[in-house]
């Protein structure tokens, strides 16, 4: 692990990592960035582990950013635990720590906002929650994050959901400035009693530490009301304030219900709402939040090749009356559009230009005698359900599906479907990346031997050339290795996914188990 204190050292290190790999498949190493202010705790470590899982190299930045502290805040006393942080990062397999001082980043030991070029978020996103109470904070955050993204140029950058306003603002900045990075939000990590992990928890006395747990209890009280059917902000915020009032030492700064993306106040939760709290215990300011979702549930099914994900996902969607989000049909639709337009399918620039006006719409058809029906597909309001399954499209779809720009476009469209919920989707990274907040995540798998036997039966039924079980097992094992190590959409099991091993089970039995999980978790009336 390298400790880097200069921009020049950081750039040299990154350049060495990004040398193309050896033939026959040259590729550029991926980099994940975890920006921190140090005093690392379990929440930070969860970000590092996710970055380690997703990328070839991980950079952690440790920088107590003076621009994001308002006058009178705890800049001078903010916890600084460099040696412990270095040890924690090394234990987690971090490749480099960037530890600049203010002069390195800003050109001045004591940077003055009025004398610097800054990145300022939309004013509307700073009108509520922490914005009015921490003037200058978010321009300081976006300025330093923009600088770090520009210096490291990571493939992905990781932020905790505990700082939900910061996460929303960073995502907006990345979108508005067209920065080529994926912002990954990671779940809040909590102590056993529910208190959200925070570097500022170190400020709390033993008594205050116990009293602070009321913040999470207040959020849970509102969540309980929400699950009973209350959707109005007035009722939900009343539950928060009533619970907080049980601890006289807790001074509420705000409790608000806002849209998670725009951060504008909500009178009622129609699809999703961010319920956020800031409160003081003594001189220590703590924040916490949770997201309330009233959309239809999402089922994310991941797993290795040959586990039967596609057939199972279609039948689960049919059984529950949900939409099967057919990613294969979406790639075929893009391929059809490219072929119809006459562009060179291997010209990624031309394909990217074409995709700007390629809007795909899907609809599920009921299964017939237990056999899934093909998904109906429209491209720009033209139905192409049959056309996308032609031999011409089939022969070219793999060339289109391999292009990162296509995957990026389709990811956005898939997540738009997920905004309203009511979908079932299968793949390799659905629960970890496409729908990380899916209500039910299933990791569908089977032993290599079982998948080889199934593949052999399929080949025989299709009158395809026979392969030995040993050869099929070797091929499946190699496919698993490639799928789990690929740079784009690697096979991952989400931490909160339920593993379902299908050895010895029929398709109907697997479908029945997933439907049962759905009804047990989300209500018997569904």
Catalytic residues: 44
Both tokens of 27, joined, read 């590729």
Task: Give the residue ranges of DSSP H helices in 189-289.
Answer: 206-211, 214-227, 233-244
Do the beta carbons of residue 313 and residue 425 sit within 8 Å? Answer: yes
E strands along 325-447, which residues?
Answer: 360-363, 376-379, 382-383, 423-427, 440-445
Cβ(294)–Cβ(282) under 8 Å? no
φ/ψ (deg, to 5) at 55: -130, 160
CB atoms within 10 A of CB 390: 14
Annotate 320-355 with DSSP letters as a single string.
HT-EE--HHHHHHHHHHHHHHHT--TT-HHHHHHHG
DSSP-assigned beta bridge partners for residue 62: 36
Pairing assessment for the beta strands 423-427 and 298-302 based on DSSP bridges: parallel
Question: What Rg do the C-alpha atoms of the chain give, in angstroms?
Answer: 25
Burial of residue 35, with CB atoms counted within 10 A of its CB: 0-12 exposed, 13-18 middle, 19 or more buried: buried
Q: Tokens 């299908």: give the residue.
A: 502
């Amino acid at each position: 692990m390298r400790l880097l204190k200069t921009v020049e050292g950081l750039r040299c290190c990154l350049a060495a990592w990004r040398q193309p790999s050896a033939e026959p498949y040259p590729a550029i190493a991926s980099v994940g960035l975890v920006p921190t202010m140090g005093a690392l705790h379990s929440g930070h470590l969860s970000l590092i582990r996710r970055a380690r899982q997703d990328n070839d190299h991980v950079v952690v930045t440790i920088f107590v950013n003076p621009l994001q502290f308002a006058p009178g805040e705890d800049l001078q006393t903010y916890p600084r635990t460099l040696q412990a942080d270095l040890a924690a990062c090394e234990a987690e397999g971090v490749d480099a720590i960037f530890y600049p001082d203010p002069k390195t980043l800003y050109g001045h030991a004591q940077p003055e906002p009025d004398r610097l070029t800054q990145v300022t978020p939309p004013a509307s996103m700073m009108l509520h929650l922490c914005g009015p109470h921490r003037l200058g904070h978010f321009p300081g955050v976006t300025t330093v994050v923009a600088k770090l993204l520009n210096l490291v140029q990571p493939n992905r950058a990781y932020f905790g959901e505990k700082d939900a306003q910061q996460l929303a603002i960073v995502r907006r900045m990345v979108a508005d400035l067209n920065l080529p990075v994926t912002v990954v939000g990671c779940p809040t990590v909590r102590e056993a009693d529910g208190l959200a992990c925070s570097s500022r928890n170190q400020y709390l006395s033993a008594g205050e530490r116990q009293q602070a747990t009321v913040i999470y209890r207040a959020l849970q009280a509102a969540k309980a009301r929400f699950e009973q059917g209350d959707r109005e902000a007035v009722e939900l915020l009343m539950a928060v304030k009533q619970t907080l009032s049980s601890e006289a030492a807790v001074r509420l700064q705000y409790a608000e219900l806002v849209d998670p993306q725009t951060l504008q106040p909500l009178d009622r939760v129609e699809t999703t709402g961010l319920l956020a709290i800031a409160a003081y215990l003594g001189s220590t300011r703590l924040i916490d939040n949770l997201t309330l979702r009233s959309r239809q549930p999402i089922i994310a099914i991941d797993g290795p090749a040959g586990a039967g994900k596609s057939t199972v996902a279609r039948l689960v969607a049919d059984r529950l009356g949900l939409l099967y989000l057919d990613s294969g049909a979406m790639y075929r639709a893009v391929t059809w559009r490219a072929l119809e337009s006459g562009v060179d399918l291997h010209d990624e620039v031309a394909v990217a230009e074409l995709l700007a006006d390629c809007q795909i719409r899907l609809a599920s058809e009921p299964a017939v005698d237990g056999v899934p029906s093909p998904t109906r597909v429209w491209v720009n309001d033209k139905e192409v359900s049959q056309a996308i399954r032609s031999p011409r499209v089939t022969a070219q779809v793999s060339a289109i599906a391999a292009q990162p720009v296509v995957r990026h476009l389709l990811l956005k469209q898939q997540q738009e479907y997920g905004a309203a919920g009511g979908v079932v989707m299968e793949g390799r990274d659905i629960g970890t990346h496409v729908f990380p907040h899916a209500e039910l995540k299933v990791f569908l798998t089977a032993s290599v031997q079982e998948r080889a036997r199934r593949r052999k039966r399929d080949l025989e039924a299709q009158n395809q050339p026979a392969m030995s079980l040993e050869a099929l097992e070797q091929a499946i094992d190699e496919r698993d290795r490639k799928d789990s190590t690929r740079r784009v959409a690697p096979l991952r099991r989400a931490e909160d996914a339920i593993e379902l091993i299908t050895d010895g089970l029929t398709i109907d039995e697997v479908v029945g188990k997933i439907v049962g999980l759905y009804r047990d978790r989300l209500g018997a009336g569904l």
